[in-house]
Structure 1
Amino acid sequence: MNTPEIRSPAAFDPERVRGITIDLDDTLWPIWPTIERAERVLAAWLAEHAPAAAALAGSAAALREVRNHIQATRPDLHHDLSALRRESIRLVLERAGDDPALAEPAFEVFFAERQRVELFEDALPALEWLAERYPVVALSNGNADVHRVGLGRHFKAALSAREFGVGKPDARIFHAGAQAAGAEPQHILHVGDDIHLDGVGGLLAGLQVAWVNRHDHPWPADAPPPHLTVPDLLNLCRLLA
């Protein structure tokens, strides 16, 4: 097991920690295997219920154009991955000549499968340990539902960009997470994998930050370093013990 690394300039102070905010995708589970599986399930559903749309969605170029169109014409949905996915499905159905009302049940098929995640081995024991000691708040730009995933009992609250209106790295969602945990930002430890969204965002919002670096990536030389770099969540627990 790799030794966790304490990063400066601001040394980690475990005595200051009164609550935890934590990212979900790629911190508690790998996201892309989940999304790829959900997309296969969606494709199979469309093949049965809307074959013309299934054929159109099977074209990488056509699907890319649909997604680009939705992102360009619906900037109001930028922080709502569920709505972006639903409207992309609806546009594919319309362009294929299928019933656009099928977008709702099609999305639900995708969304249900998207909640079937496979946790990293360390995630559940670490969450159990953390939740026994701190209020833990999920802070995500994605659309995972901690209750549908089966982890709701470990969280005091869960904030998503979709519900809150802005996502990481905006300081407002970090401060809302701190408020949900019942502590000031300087007493929160934010835990996440993304250098920009979790790391730099959390630092600029005034939180202590633990960067979960499972794949030994380098931290950018031009970015302020996190307080901690850990290879997994159990190493984080050991530093908090």
Structure 2
Amino acid sequence: MLDVGKIRAITIDLDDTLWPIWPTIERAEKALHQWLCDYAPMTAALFANPAALRDIRAEMTSARPDLKHDMSALRRESIRLALYRAGENPLMADTAFEVFFAERQRVTLFEDALPALQYLSARFPLVALSNGNADLRRIGLAHLFRASICAREFGVGKPDPRIFHAAAGAAETMPQDILHIGDDATLDALGALNAGMQAAWLNRSDAIWPHEQEPHIELAHLGDLSDLIP
């Protein structure tokens, strides 16, 4: 059971918790493809081949294990490799990636997200905790957060307890006094439990909890917290 009285800070996931990620990624990939069609047509043709694209991404992941937590760097270097393979200028990779990245920040929030963030941030320090590469400043939500901890900058991702503990440090609070909210049962909820935090599993799709250890609370909607936290 959730112990509301223990909460001194809240950490919260971003992708698929505050906004749906795949529609955002699809738009960003379309923007990237259009840019490549205009400025690097041979690379655009290569990216249009799903098998070739999978091979490039697999090769980059294998060749650069140091980037496994840095989605931005992996995508940028995959674009660079594709440009090289297509016989076009690899130096265009930075510009091409920025086209993708700018569109990736144009998220559409779930209807419950902004009201919940405003309600919670008025009561607790909020820390974003993500394995992704969302930029809260570009998205326009940075003013609601004390800090943002991401796998790309920290070097390890959820469910590793160390990144949860780093978020606790950013909130200047002990892990046991933090409620973590996220949509992924393993990365978010189980990760938070193993880090000594209270865990709220945001289950928008009515999925079945897959683990023996259970979260402190299951939410169908972020607005549910407004009823629980005075």
Shorter-chain TM range is over 0.9
Residue in structure 1 matching 2:201, options 177, 200, 211: 211
For residues 210 and 237 of structure 1, the distance between their equivalents in structure 2, rounded to whole angstroms, comes to 13
Deviation at 1:212, TM superposition (A): 0.4
Structure number with higher relative contact order (C-alpha < 8 Å, ≥ 6 residues apart)? 1
RMSD: 0.6
- In the TM superposition, structure 1's runs of 4+ consecutive aligned residues that sit over 4 Å from their partners are none
| CA shift digits 1:160-180 (9 cap, x unpaired) | 000111110010110110111
Can you give the 5+ residue segments of structure 1 that lack an aligned partner in the other structure?
Answer: 1-10
- Counterpart of 1:124 in structure 2 is 114
- Counterpart of 2:71 in structure 1 is 81
Residue in structure 1 matching 2:222, options 227, 233, 238: 233
| Partners of 1:21 and 1:139 within 8 A in 2 | yes
- Counterpart of 1:166 in structure 2 is 156
- Counterpart of 1:6 in structure 2 is none
Residue in structure 1 matching 2:144, options 154, 159, 169: 154
Q: Tell whether 2:126 aligns with 1:136.
A: yes
Residue in structure 2 matching 1:34, options 24, 35, 41: 24
Residue in structure 2 matching 1:181, options 171, 178, 203: 171
For residues 196 and 236 of structure 1, the distance between their equivalents in structure 2, rounded to whole angstroms, comes to 21
| CA shift digits 1:119-177 (9 cap, x unpaired) | 00000000000000000000000000111111011000001000111110010110110
- Counterpart of 1:23 in structure 2 is 13
Q: Tell whether 2:37 aligns with 1:47.
A: yes
| Partners of 1:93 and 1:100 within 8 A in 2 | yes
- Counterpart of 2:104 in structure 1 is 114
For residues 115 and 223 of structure 1, the distance between their equivalents in structure 2, rounded to whole angstroms, comes to 36
Q: Report how many aligned residue pairs link the two structures.
A: 230
- Counterpart of 2:83 in structure 1 is 93
Deviation at 1:72, TM superposition (A): 0.9
Deviation at 1:106, TM superposition (A): 0.1
For residues 118 and 108 of structure 2, the distance between their equivalents in structure 1, rounded to whole angstroms, comes to 16
For residues 136 and 234 of structure 1, the distance between their equivalents in structure 2, rounded to whole angstroms, comes to 16
| Partners of 1:140 and 1:168 within 8 A in 2 | yes
Q: Percent identity?
A: 61
Deviation at 1:237, TM superposition (A): 2.2
Deviation at 1:223, TM superposition (A): 3.1
For residues 108 and 237 of structure 1, the distance between their equivalents in structure 2, rounded to whole angstroms, comes to 37
Deviation at 1:239, TM superposition (A): 1.2
| Partners of 1:200 and 1:223 within 8 A in 2 | no
Can you give the 5+ residue segments of structure 2 that lack an aligned partner in the other structure?
Answer: none
Q: Name whichever of 230-239 and 63-72 sits farther off.
A: 230-239
TM-score by length of 2: 0.99
- Counterpart of 2:47 in structure 1 is 57
- Counterpart of 1:14 in structure 2 is 4
